[in-house]
Structure 1
Amino acid sequence: MVTNKIYYGVITEILELNYNNKGSIVLFKCDWVDNHAQDKWVQVDYLGVTRVNFKHLFKSDEPFILASQATQVYYVQDDLDKDWCFVRSFPHP
């Protein structure tokens, strides 16, 4: 069974690989919130609002993604629980 997990993270480094001016690829290195245990450090409530806890990152042997694989979001700290942030996305034009 294949599941499509959503990964939430913070970019820590941006790399551009240039292939002798024949093209380039942009990679993002990220710190990823641990989403291996369902609903533990990435939670989605009954209204579809997502919260993440950046105090629980997972160690990845593959911290890089292609820039084209990323979706931009921003995080808003939860006033009631400072360890958690709400995930907010930008409206698409």
Structure 2
Amino acid sequence: MDGRSLVAWNLRRLRVARGLSQERLALESGVDRAYVSGLERGRENPTVDVLDRLATVLVAPLAAFFAEPDDPAEPAPALKAGRKPK
């Protein structure tokens, strides 16, 4: 797994574990939602500053984006579809 794919895999894993949508993560970190989507698909190359802002919102150390997965073939589970009730 290359570096960009590793960051993508871990970003999705951390985001889902916190129960955040891409939209919410983008809003709270000050990053465009389409950019967050591109990061999770491995199409964008984030700066350390962007990773730091995402890590702050995800309450995770910056190093968590570079953790080798136990089973990289198993993607992070998806969040439940739809909006949460107010």
- State the TM-score, normalized to the length of structure 2: 0.24
Going by fraction, where is helix more abundant, 1 or 2? 2
User: Which has the higher Rg, Structure 1 or Structure 2?
Assistant: 1
Q: Which has the higher contact order (CA 8 A, sep 6+)?
A: 2
Going by fraction, where is strand more abundant, 1 or 2? 1
- State the TM-score, normalized to the length of structure 1: 0.23
